[in-house]
Structure 1
Amino acid sequence: MNTQPKRRFSLLFAPLLGACLLAGCGDGRSADDLRTDSKSQQTQEKRAREVADAWHGSAATAAWSRGYYPLGDTPQPPASGWHSEADKWAFESGTIVRSGKLPTTAITRGKVEWRSGSTLIRPVVDPNWAYQSFAHYSSKGPRLTVTGVKLGETTIATTRGTATVPAWLFTLDGYDAPLKQVAVSPSELPKPPIGRAGHGSAGGLWQVTRLTGTSADGRSLTVRSGHGACDDGPVVKVLETDESVVLYGSVKGARSGPCTAEMLQPKVKVELRQPLAHRVVLDALTAQPVPYGT
């Protein structure tokens, strides 16, 4: 077999490969771009470590461990399931109306109880406010109709494990099982022990704004992170400690030049080395806990 053509190719390819490794061939980035990216990543990681260190053993961590913070959706569909895709769509879009007025309540406090036996008293929201939290539209087309409400209870995932909480049970026309809405408000988020990162000092950090889900085994999170219209989307990295999970968001493929002023927040899945358990999820840019839901 004649190997000469292959040898010529290798001799030609080797210096090209070396030049690409130095200059960043393949993604359009120069060596200066790569050095800038590396410096930005180091700055982001440093900020994440500063946030984790500040929260370690702090009063904010103690307050977080004593609070009630849901990790599940507070409006819960009927246990029997939806009768049709149209009803499911109506619930998810908030196309829900009520038949007549809902009563007000004199109940102002309710008890959150965890499986560990720990309890916490929290304010109970009025059923009309609870209704408005999931009923946003009354447009034509598929809709659900609330015909009544009473106080009951439900279970929900929280940062301290599963808890039994007071819930408003809304009767739906045509359904035997109620639509449940958690009736107690979450605890106030603790004040971070460290301030927001200064402008221009965070290595291109973007805020991770919302936690939208956790996997059943606690080893992955789904979050919303911001980016603009002139980049290739968000990147979310994680720094884990025994007490916290610090998320630091950035963008990839940012391009210069004219760009529409818009803020996009797609969902991003983040893998963890250890189950989340009772650790607080923090945003590196703001140093605040990342809240669940909307």
Structure 2
Amino acid sequence: MADAWAESATANAWSRGYYPMADVLQKPASGWHNKADDRAFDTKNFVLSGDLPATAPAHAKVTWGNGNHLTRPFIGAKKAYQSFALDRSAGPRLTVTAAKLGTTTIETSQGPATVPAWLFTVEGYDTPLKRVGVTPSKLPDPPIGPARQGSAGGLRSVLLAGAAMDRRVITVKATHGACDDGPTVKALETNENVVLHASIAGPRSGPCSAEMIEQRLKVELRKPLGDRALLDALTGQPVPYGEPNGQSPSWA
């Protein structure tokens, strides 16, 4: 996989695109005040009290620290609100009262970027809930096909959960079952990319309950990730940030 990606057209497209590698919805700087608000955020239970801006720019610019920039389509305030306000149940809820244009920073495949965002005013909070407004680039077709789940020594998929500021320690989410010693994730590093190989340690035979357990692991690289592509050995694609079986903000 490392050889297939090296100097490929896919790698070139990936290096020039905008791919968020962190959550596009950012909590207020102060954090949530109590467990009820934290639960409302986790369950996406919001209510709108007020008017949202009816107009927005059609496109906006993503800017990286090295001066590189890219223009991407920009979503309106209503669509941005609807992307996270998915529940209106009787449980704890957060109230959005207004929104305005602003900016935020987000980790991307090319490192931290400054991006336009919608800043939503939440009742009871002095700092806004931020929702990145620019849409990701289209994921290029991988230069190699996926491997079979469980092949090559128990190969499994992996998800990105975060990275240290120096991008040398990568936190990932990996899954395992009830009858093993947990997941293990190894990294193959080249000058062009880093391939993560997730598998299961100590699998045991015999009767076992059917469950999938998620675990976070830290993978320490020999040198910072930099602009190298972070790849999944199972899928043949860049490792997405997101939840198991859910859409990834990286290219949703």
TM-score (norm 2): 0.86
Instruction: Provide the C-alpha distance between the structure 1 equivalents of 2:72 and 2:196, rounded to a whole number of angstroms.
Output: 29
Residues 67-118 of structure 1, C-alpha deviations (whole Å, 9 max, x = no match): 1112332112223444445434433443322225645445322111112221
Secondary structure of the residue aligned to 1:203 is helix
Q: Does 1:90 align with 2:40?
A: yes
Q: Does 1:112 align with 2:57?
A: no
Q: Does 1:265 align with 2:214?
A: yes
Contact kept? 2:194, 2:229, Cα under 8 Å? yes
Residue aligning to 1:202: 152
Secondary structure of the residue aligned to 2:100 is strand
Q: Does 1:226 align with 2:175?
A: yes
Unaligned runs of 5+ residues in structure 1 are 1-50
Residue aligning to 2:113: 163
Residue aligning to 1:283: 232
Secondary structure of the residue aligned to 1:169 is strand
- Which structure carries more helix by proportion? 1
Contact kept? 1:60, 1:190, Cα under 8 Å? yes
Contact kept? 1:111, 1:120, Cα under 8 Å? yes
| CA separation of 1:200 and 1:95: change in aligned 2, threshold 3 A | closer
State the AA in 2 paired with 1:223: V
Residue aligning to 2:78: 128
Secondary structure of the residue aligned to 2:118 is strand
**More divergent stretch after superposition (167-176 vs 194-203):** 194-203
CA drift of 1:262 comes to: 3.5
Secondary structure of the residue aligned to 2:147 is coil
Contact kept? 1:202, 1:285, Cα under 8 Å? no
CA drift of 1:280 comes to: 1.0
Secondary structure of the residue aligned to 1:230 is coil
Secondary structure of the residue aligned to 2:119 is strand
**More divergent stretch after superposition (177-186 vs 198-207):** 198-207
**In structure 2, which of residues 202, 222, 229 is the aligned counterpart of residue 253 of structure 1?**
202
Tell me how many residue pairs correspond in the alignment: 243
**More divergent stretch after superposition (131-140 vs 66-75):** 131-140
Instruction: Provide the C-alpha distance between the structure 2 equivalents of 1:224 and 1:68, rounded to a whole number of angstroms.
Output: 22
- Which structure carries more strand by proportion? 2
CA drift of 1:189 comes to: 1.8
Q: What are the equivalent positions in structure 2 for 1:148-187 lying under 5 Å apart?
A: 148-187=98-137
| CA separation of 1:85 and 1:265: change in aligned 2, threshold 3 A | closer
Q: Percent identity?
A: 60
Instruction: Provide the C-alpha distance between the structure 1 equivalents of 2:106 and 2:149, rounded to a whole number of angstroms.
Output: 38
| CA separation of 1:201 and 1:155: change in aligned 2, threshold 3 A | closer
Instruction: Provide the C-alpha distance between the structure 2 equivalents of 1:201 and 1:154, rounded to a whole number of angstroms.
Output: 41
TM-score (norm 1): 0.75
